[in-house]
Amino acid sequence: MSEEKGNKFDRVIAAGENRYKVPGMYRDWFLDYASYVMLDRAVPYIEDGLKPVQRRILHALKINEDGRYHKVAGIVGDTMKFHPHGDASIYDALVSIQQKELLIDGQGNWGNILTGDGAAAMRYIEAKLSKFALEVVFNPKITEWVPTYDRANMEPVALPIKFPFLLAQGSKGIGVGLKILILPHNFNELLDAAIAALKGEGFDLYPDFPTAGIADCSKYNGGLRGSRVRIRATITKSDKKTLVIKDIPFGETTGSVIASIVAANDSGKIKIKRIDDYSSDKVEIVLQLYNDISPDKTIDALYACTKCAVTISPNSVVIKDGKPEFMTINDILSYCAFHTQDLFEKELNVTLSELEDDWHRMSLEKIFFEMKVYRVLENDAKTWEAQIDDVMNTMLEYQHIVKKPISNDDILKLVEKPVRKISKFDIKAADERLRSTEDQIAKVKYNLEHLTDYTIAHFKNIKNKYGAAHPRLTRIEEFENINAQKVVVANAKLYANFATGFVGLDEKNIDNATFVCECSDIDDIIVFMKNGDYYVTSVKDKTFIGKDIIHISVFKKGDNRTIYNTIYQDGKGGIYFVKRFAVTSITKNKFYNFTQGKPDSTALYFSANPNGEAETIRIHFRPRPKLKKTSENYDFANIAVKGRSSRGNIISRFPIQRIQLKAKGVSTIGGKDIWFDADINRLNDAQRGQYLG
């Protein structure tokens, strides 16, 4: 390896002015580096589900396996014989494997994935292979070996793991231009799915996280790029003033969750009186609320504004046939199931060959002693080779009894045995050993003929032995989307200068600011202007919308109860129209117009009605000759609510001088469903508490 690097540098140095050409360097070096990171560091191999450092750790543990715990410092040192990247990466990988509690048994302080506490130093903790690992991971007889990086030792290309370990443990890593994230799955469900795959039946797999929680896997899509899993902590209501967080989302710790709650509380999105963390081997974060704060609304706000809810985007990538390949979780599972079957075929063939060799050896021994062939050695012969030939010729008379050709090596092994008196008991024992070996051969051949059933029996066996220790921790269910704007506490005030068109939360930076309403700093606002333009945008400290603002309010997407009543003139000197409309959905940061869009159109009257009220107005016309009526009343209840793009109805062809409110109206739409929240003794329309009607 060092010679190859030296040759590359020599070429660059000798290239003169051409040594600075980037394309050649990129082609020759960067792609080599990218391939190295993919194949040797970041991406797991589909054959055993391991990255190289993980495989080398398990190999080092197996070499020193004696049933006792060993210092991790020693294990790391042994692994460095195979791994060229130092002790830190080995130690971190070893801790990560042990925390999955599947292949490595640990003794000492190995950290806590719930609280984020790190493991103790490597000199203080000990480890050994688990019983499960010893049963399903190793078999040197069918393992392919290659020299290590320094050619001083041999290491396995892939371990013959007879279990879908990659999907049980999960994997994550960052390659060159590629992020890998394979989520962990349930031990028992993987075995059931492997059995189904071998039977040709369908199966579904969903993640199961060691941190438990609740997962929405409706967009899991087999873990491919573009898939998404939403995860929430389990939050229960202990009493009217107390919430308890009992588990956390995957990838988070109690510390990160608490920090996010504190940040949301400090910004005013939620109101928490006190936080207590009693977590150890189980999560228990207790939140104390103020008397006037709804616990149900706070739970929704915690999901919307803190790390009590997270979204994970898996990207399932493995090394297959020497290159990265995107595969679904189901495809990986099926590959592992049939790969296990192939491994058993290799194991059984090796076992069959060994048994047949044993049967051949024992048969020759029986013939040699029972037929007194050893007496040939008592005959006179000129040379030792001649005696061997005589024994060979005599043994060949019994060739029809054995199944393999008798070789010179077989004869040499026979004559090297001490000639001893063979009793009747010895002959019977030899016959029993032969019959036992024949039974074993028959059993192995049967298993080879029924390889699928044999593999299924293996999966059932390890499920019966180890499955009870791996119950499902994560609950699978679909979530409803939580609109953060509806559940956060109003933590800000909205101000505006209606004439200049500036809007924002910072009163000091807006000249002649007028208070509009209370809001939160994550709300959207809708702004209407005199020329008919309206616009939805996120609230900011200060932003310019447009001059001559006539209405501002917090925008609620999907709100079909807020009805806007308006009278506008269609262009300069045009006809006057009246319309009622709702704005339920709109593209943010894009201008719309509720008039017909002619230049110089003007809104003469505008009102926003949160419950669809229809007021009565008095319209005063501009005086002119032969005008019969100088004013008239108009009730907005006489016009139906239509879409925001409709032009409305003609209300007058005569010039209007002014419009004034005569009487406030009542709602023209159906009643609103109301609930009673007994925890804070308040009515609400957010479906919290007892439904009243």
The per-residue pLDDT for range 645-681, each reduced to its tens digit, is 899 999 988 899 999 998 887 776 666 677 666 655 5
Q: Are residues 421 and 306 in the same domain?
A: no
* Burial letters 673-693, b for 16+ CB under 10 A, else e: eebebebbeeeeeeebbeeee
| β-bridge mates for residue 129, sequence order | 104
- The token duo for 411 is 């004869």
Structure tokens at 10: 């020599």
Same domain? 498 vs 462: no
CB of 57 closer than 8 Å to CB of 97: yes
The helix or strand, by DSSP H or E, that contains position 46, with its residue range, turns out to be none
First to last CA, the chain: 78
Domain contains 208: no
Assign residue 116 the CATH number of its domain: 3.90.199.10
Please say whether the beta carbons of 338 and 277 come within 8 A: no
Give the number of domains in the chain: 4
What pLDDT was estimated at residue 594? 93
Last residue of a domain, one of 100, 131, 152: 152
3-state class of 568 per DSSP? strand
**How many angstroms from the chain centroid is the CA of residue 322?**
25
- Catalytic residues, by residue number, are 124
Q: What does DSSP say about strands 214-219 and 475-476: parallel, antiparallel, or unpaired?
A: parallel
User: Is the Cα torsion angle 491, 521, 286, 274 positive or negative in sign?
Assistant: negative
Nearest to 460 by CA among 160, 198, 88: 198
In a domain, 478, yes or no: no
Show the domain range for 653.
484-684
CA distance 636 to 60: 84
CA distances from 282 to 113, 114, 115, 148, 253 (A): 10, 7, 9, 42, 12
Classify residue 320: in a domain, yes or no: no
Distance between CA 175 and CA 36 in Å, rounded?
Answer: 9
Q: What would the DSSP string read from start to end of 304-363?
A: HHSTTEEEE--B-EEEETTEEEE--HHHHHHHHHHHHHHHHHHHHHHHHHHHHHHHHHHH
Question: Are 517 and 428 part of one and the same domain?
Answer: no
Is the CB of residue 133 less than 8 Å from the CB of residue 58? yes
Q: Of 98, 121, 152, which one is at a domain's C-terminal end?
A: 152
The first and second tokens of residue 504, run together, are 């924002």
Q: Give the separation between CA 47 and CA 166, rounded to whole angstroms.
A: 9
Phi-psi region of 179 (alpha: psi -120 to 50; beta: other; left: phi over 0): beta
What would you report as the CA-atom Rg of the chain, rounded to the nearest whole angstrom?
A: 40
Q: Which residue has the tokens 């009607």?
A: 693
Report the relative pairing of strands 649-652 and 641-642 from DSSP bridges: unpaired
CA angle 186-225-40, nearest 5°? 75
Residue 626 has phi, psi (to 5 degrees) of 65, 15
**Lookup result for tokens 């984020």:** 116
Bridge partners, 581 (sequence order): 564, 642
CA 509 – CA 542 distance, rounded (Å)? 7
Which residue stretches of 450-503 are H helix?
A: 451-466, 484-487
Nearest to 274 by CA among 303, 243, 301: 243
Q: What is the DSSP string of 139-160?
A: -GGG--EEE-TTSSSEEESS--
Residues 578, 582, 586, 591, CA torsion sign:
positive
Task: Tell which residue, 463, 464, 475, 477, has the closest CA to residue 187.
Answer: 463
In terms of DSSP bridges, do strands 309-312 and 228-232 run parallel, antiparallel, or are they unpaired? antiparallel
Q: Which residues of the chain have a pLDDT value below 70?
A: 1-40, 417-426, 482-490, 668-672, 675-686, 688, 692-693
List the CATH number of the domain containing 268. Answer: 3.30.1360.40
Say yes or no: 308 and 386 in one domain: no
Q: Is 290 left (phi over 0), alpha (psi -120 to 50) or beta?
A: beta
Which pLDDT belongs to residue 545?
Answer: 87
pLDDT tens-digit series, residues 251-266: 999 999 999 999 988 8
- Is 629 part of a structural domain of the chain? yes
500 and 612 fall within a common domain: yes
Residues sharing a CB contact under 8 Å with residue 363, sequence separation 6 or more, in sequence order: 401, 402, 434
Residues 491 and 595 grouped into a single domain: yes
Count other C-beta atoms under 10 Å from residue 592's C-beta.
Answer: 16
Domain identity same for 559 and 505? yes
Q: Concatenated DSSP letters for 234-258?
A: -EEEEETTEEEE----TT--HHHHH
Identify whether 68 is part of a domain: yes
Q: How far apart are CA 329 and CA 340, in angstroms?
A: 16
In this predicted model, what pLDDT tens digit does every residue of 53-108 receive, in sequence order?
999 999 999 999 999 999 999 999 999 999 888 889 999 999 999 999 999 999 99
Name the maximum alpha-carbon separation found in the chain.
Answer: 156
Q: Tell me: do 453 and 507 sit in the same domain.
A: no
Instruction: Flag whether 475 is in a domain.
Output: no
Residue from 55, 66, 228 nearest 145 by CA: 55
Mark whether 400 and 448 lie in a shared domain: yes
Helix (H, G, I), strand (E, B) or coil at 132: helix
Residue at 479: amino acid letter: F
Helix H or strand E encompassing 105: strand 104-107
User: Residue 195, SS3?
Assistant: helix
Strand-pairing partners, residue 269, are none
d(Cα 598, Cα 653) in Å, to the nearest integer? Answer: 16
Same domain, 292 and 351: no
Question: Is 214 contained in some domain?
Answer: no
Burial 144-155 (b: 16+ CB within 10 A, else e): eeeeeeeeeeeb
Same domain, 535 and 675: yes
Structure tokens at 549: 């603002």
Residue 285 CB coordination number (10 Å): 22
Q: Is residue 261 part of a domain?
A: yes
Residue 101 and residue 63 in one domain: yes
Domain end residue (candidates: 469, 500, 518): 469
